[in-house]
């Protein structure tokens, strides 16, 4: 199986969004509509990645930064392509691209019951933080 890791562009949006319905439904919000993803990709040029096998998108990762720290979202691989190193390859590429933009520390969020996601992030060297809570505010 030949896997290509490529930059995510907005012309892939429909295929990516269909994939997220399978892999990432719980994590989706209004921030994942086409216009919002296009805005995100334009603000974070070259950082987000897709994995392609036989012309089909089988993996995604959104990567961006705020000028100080990197943030990764929607790391996902289609079920039948898991445990082949695809997520690791996408994360490695995203982290390399962030480093090229001067960003040397990156955070991810994961649901507390997502043991699969947690095992993945630990396996590639992300350190679980027990000293931080995430607080979110929504401007109505
Ligand atoms: C998490 C996810 C992205 C991993 O994708 P993947 O391509 O299978 O991951 P990789 O093959 O690169 O795995 C690298 C390593 O991570 C660890 N790992 C990955 N999935 C794991 C699992 N389900 N259970 C335990 N360890 C796992 C292993 O150490 C693995 O190495 P190994 O296969 O040699 O043992 C994928 O399972 C997925 O899309 N899950 C649903 C979406 C999700 O939860 N995303 C994470 C949000 S925080």
Q: pLDDT per residue over 70-116, tens digit each? A: 999 999 999 999 999 999 999 999 999 999 999 999 999 999 999 99
pLDDT digits (tens, 9 = 90+) for 14-54: 999 999 999 999 999 999 999 999 999 999 999 999 999 99
H or E element in which residue 60 lies: strand 56-65
Task: Kindly give the number of the ligand 1 atom that is closest to the alpha carbon of 111.
Answer: 48
Task: Kindly give the number of the ligand 1 atom that is closest to the alpha carbon of 78.
Answer: 39
In the predicted model, is pLDDT for residue 1 greater than 90? no
In the reported structure, the alpha carbon of residue 112 is separated from the centroid of ligand 1 by a whole-number distance in angstroms of 15
Q: What is the pTM of this model?
A: 0.97
Q: So what's the pLDDT on residue 77?
A: 98
Q: Whose CA is nearest to atom 8 of ligand 1?
A: 82
- The number of beta carbons lying within 10 Å of the beta carbon of residue 135 is 5
pLDDT digits (tens, 9 = 90+) for 107-137: 999 999 999 999 999 999 999 999 999 999 9
Domain architecture of the chain: domains with CATH: 3-109 (3.40.630.30)
Q: Whose CA is nearest to atom 16 of ligand 1?
A: 120
Q: Whose CA is nearest to atom 47 of ligand 1?
A: 117
Which residues are CB-contacts of 90 (< 8 A; sequence separation ≥ 6)?
Answer: 5, 49, 50, 51, 59, 60, 61, 75
Q: How far apart are CA 126 and CA 91, in angstroms?
A: 11
Contact 101, 82 (CB under 8 A): no
Task: Kindly give the number of the ligand 1 atom that is closest to the alpha carbon of 77.
Answer: 39
């Amino acid at each position: 199986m030949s896997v290509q890791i490529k930059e995510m562009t907005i012309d892939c949006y429909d295929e990516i969004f269909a994939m997220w319905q399978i892999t990432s439904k719980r994590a989706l919000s209004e921030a994942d509509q086409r216009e919002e993803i296009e805005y995100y990709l334009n603000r974070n040029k070259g950082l987000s990645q897709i994995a392609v096998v036989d012309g089909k998108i089988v993996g995604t990762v959104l990567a961006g930064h705020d000028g100080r720290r990197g943030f990764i979202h929607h790391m996902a691989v289609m079920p039948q392509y898991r445990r082949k190193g695809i997520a690791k390859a996408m994360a490695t590429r995203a982290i390399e691209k962030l480093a090229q933009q001067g960003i040397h520390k990156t955070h991810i969020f994961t649901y507390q019951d997502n043991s699969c996601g947690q095992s993945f992030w630990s396996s590639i060297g992300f350190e679980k933080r027990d000293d931080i809570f995430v607080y979110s505010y929504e401007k109505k």
